Structure 1
Amino acid sequence: MRPLANGATMRPSILVTGGAGYVGSHTVIALLEREGEYSNYDIVVVDNLVNAYSRAPNEKKPESIRVIEELTNKTIHFYPLDIRDAEGLSIVFENHSIDCVIHFAALKAVGESVEKPLEYYQANITGTCTLFEVMRKYGVYKLVYSSSCTVYGEPERLPLDEGHPTGRTLTSPYGRSKYFCEEIMKDLCTSDKKWMVISLRYFNPVGAHRSGRIGEDPSGIPNNLMPFIAQVAVGRLSELKVFGNDYNTVDGTGVRDYIHVEDLAEGHVKAIKLFQQPGFNGFHAVNLGTGTGYSVLQMIAAFEAASGRKIPYKIVGRRSGDIAANYADVSLSHRMLGWRATRTLDDMCADTWRWQSSNPNGFKKV
């Protein structure tokens, strides 16, 4: 805790960058729902709202944060801020006694990154470096990083474990941005033993909070499969495009390891606990997935069963940057974090449908 001029102390805080977005908001609510564990911590969120909806220009907090406060009856400190703004970030660190940072803020669509590489490198790499500079300035060295299985590139073997080479066969600027950030973190940890970095390599987050009140609400046309399927099911989009059916997979469509976003959020809570272990430091990469892959057509069939809706789709050409299949070896997350995914594909589809059918326009109420 940081002492104040009057002798009092600030409560310790967890800073969540990009905390109004999809995975960030579910991690924020997971932290607040841990009664007793983090009840003495303030939760501080910074987000530039590039992919989060705010009800009106004069609304102080985005809708996802407002709903979380309503569900938990707790207050979240929110700053509408881009992490490339070092001066703005410094104000956040001045106002709060930051103990550790969970870093989500980034652009995240593989296909879009091929079309807009400069924007992805600016947001994901420059933004991350600026965050690290401000953390170092204020003596904060504990970081949980939102990484990605795309750092592995074209798989040399499956399932993908953390010992698989990274950076060799990367297929998109998005994947390269995550890989470059991991390399920067490794160099930081080598240069100064105070740094503690846990890089969580996600596979494919899907699903929604069990309340049906928060879920994935992408701006514009979705770039990821599940929100696209959900928007077709609810009638916002007319049909799904399936990018390629000539991959060497069970049915020719791409295979991915889908993980429920609430399981993923709980993985972050488990990761923070590692900082409390005596002698813990350095860089550690950990996969978060289920260890099971599903094809696009299998995902469509599962969602049709959960929603009772037919999902019209059209097969189109392969999308630049995509690979045939990837799924995780998750044994390290079991050993190191004491974590494993518990929710099934049926849970993922049912919770997504509960969110989308209750909120056909996402957080935007029309």
Structure 2
Amino acid sequence: MKVLVTGGAGYIGSHTTLCLLEEGHEVVVLDNLMNSSPESLRRVEQLTGKTVEFKKLDLLDAAAVDELLAEGGFEAVIHFAGLKAVGESVEKPLMYYQNNVVGTLNLLHSMDVHGVRQLVFSSSATVYGASEEVPLIEKAPLDATNPYGRTKEQIEDILSDLGAADPSWSIALLRYFNPVGAHESGLIGEDPSGIPNNLLPFVAQVAVGRREKVMVFGNDYPTADGTGVRDYIHVMDLAAGHLAALGYLADKKGVYRWNLGTGKGSSVLEVIEAFGAVVGRPIPYEIGGRRPGDAAVSYADPSAALADLSWAARRDLRQMCQDHWRWQDSNPMGYKQAE
């Protein structure tokens, strides 16, 4: 199958591209390299021994996107491209709506015109907002609490309306929880621009000496150790979920929604302790105040993905930390040191 992967040079995109190539698919990656590096794709080629066709394009360039789709031959799209920093989205909401929503509309228009109607969309557990009902199921109300999450929610609405209006579309909405880890080789992994927005890459940068300590936002939640609990999922399990969804859509029409998570929660302090155990020394941290809008506990009910896709996360927290540390230890400055 010939697959277009938007945002394919990014963290989850590069790991999924690797898995697609290993499964024998032909892959074209579209990425504007705003928050990613072409080095990730060079390393994917190194790992697979296969070539990745790369197009440096921005989805906001509607004409260029249309030209790419017009070249023909694409059977499906996996859509990762988008801005994803919650804090930045609060500061710059217009940029997030323009980039994420308008960029997606441009992609969908071109897909529709050129008859490419199979799509796997990278959504997020942020669409559930600060729900107190756990585990989270796909039928739970959507109530994103920040512009980033609302762009994901709005795109889900657009895709739901599209699927209802035109039954020729096959669409999977994958709501991930907290992707972590790296490919077991240590050659590709998460390389956030600037200060990491998520816990594990921050912990890894502290462990490798790039940052002084981890700030823990709140230790007075109603949890076992007072810190927030989240569902962390290994990026390779997540990539496998995309391939499973792609396979499911091959002979199905309509719009489908699946949580991709482990179904288990780990607290902030548990993650810091687990990473320290892998590194062999304690990770320094400081307790600070809560962040507005943070839920005490959030984890998935992934049973629908198991039932429909025969997919389940296989890697535990220790392996997530081991693989993430192997990547960070081998690449202290991320891909930048290779560029």
Same fold (TM over 0.5): yes
Q: Secondary structure at the match of 2:55?
A: strand
Q: Is the 8 A contact 1:171 1:322 kept in 2?
A: no
Distance 1:47 1:321 in 2: 31
Paired residue for 1:245?
219
Q: Is the 8 A contact 2:227 2:269 kept in 1?
A: yes
Q: Is the 8 A contact 2:65 2:107 kept in 1?
A: yes
Q: Secondary structure at the match of 2:136?
A: coil
Distance 1:256 1:113 in 2: 21
* Aligned partner (choices 332, 335, 339) of residue 307 of structure 2: 335
Moved more, 63-72 or 112-121: 112-121
Q: Is the 8 A contact 1:13 1:96 kept in 2?
A: no
Name the amino acid aligned to 1:130: N
User: Counterparts of 1:1-366 in structure 2 under 5 Å?
Assistant: 12-34=1-23, 39=24, 41-53=25-37, 62-167=38-143, 170-277=144-251, 280-365=252-337
Distance 1:147 1:97 in 2: 25
Gaps of 5+ in 2: none
Q: Is the 8 A contact 1:114 1:320 kept in 2?
A: no
Q: How far apart are residue 203 of structure 1 and its match?
A: 0.4
Task: Give the paired residue count.
Answer: 338
Name the amino acid aligned to 2:225: D
Q: How far apart are residue 175 of structure 1 and its match?
A: 1.1
Q: How far apart are residue 96 of structure 1 and its match?
A: 4.2
Q: Is the 8 A contact 1:114 1:321 kept in 2?
A: no
Q: Is the 8 A contact 2:177 2:232 kept in 1?
A: yes
Name the amino acid aligned to 2:171: V
Name the one with the larger helix percent: 2
Distance 1:130 1:321 in 2: 31
* % identical equivalent positions: 57
Name the amino acid aligned to 1:330: P
Q: Is the 8 A contact 1:259 1:289 kept in 2?
A: yes
Q: Is the 8 A contact 2:132 2:295 kept in 1?
A: no
Change (3 A) 1:49 1:321: farther
Q: Can you list the C-alpha shifts for 1:196-225, whole angstroms capped at 9, x where unaligned?
A: 110000000000001100000011111111
Q: Is the 8 A contact 1:18 1:48 kept in 2?
A: yes
Q: How far apart are residue 320 of structure 1 and its match?
A: 3.3
Paired residue for 1:4?
none
Gaps of 5+ in 1: 1-11, 54-61
Q: Can you list the C-alpha shifts for 1:39-63, whole angstroms capped at 9, x where unaligned?
A: 2x4200001111113xxxxxxxx00
Q: Is the 8 A contact 2:265 2:298 kept in 1?
A: yes
Q: How far apart are residue 164 of structure 1 and its match?
A: 0.9
Change (3 A) 1:247 1:115: farther
Q: Secondary structure at the match of 1:364?
A: helix
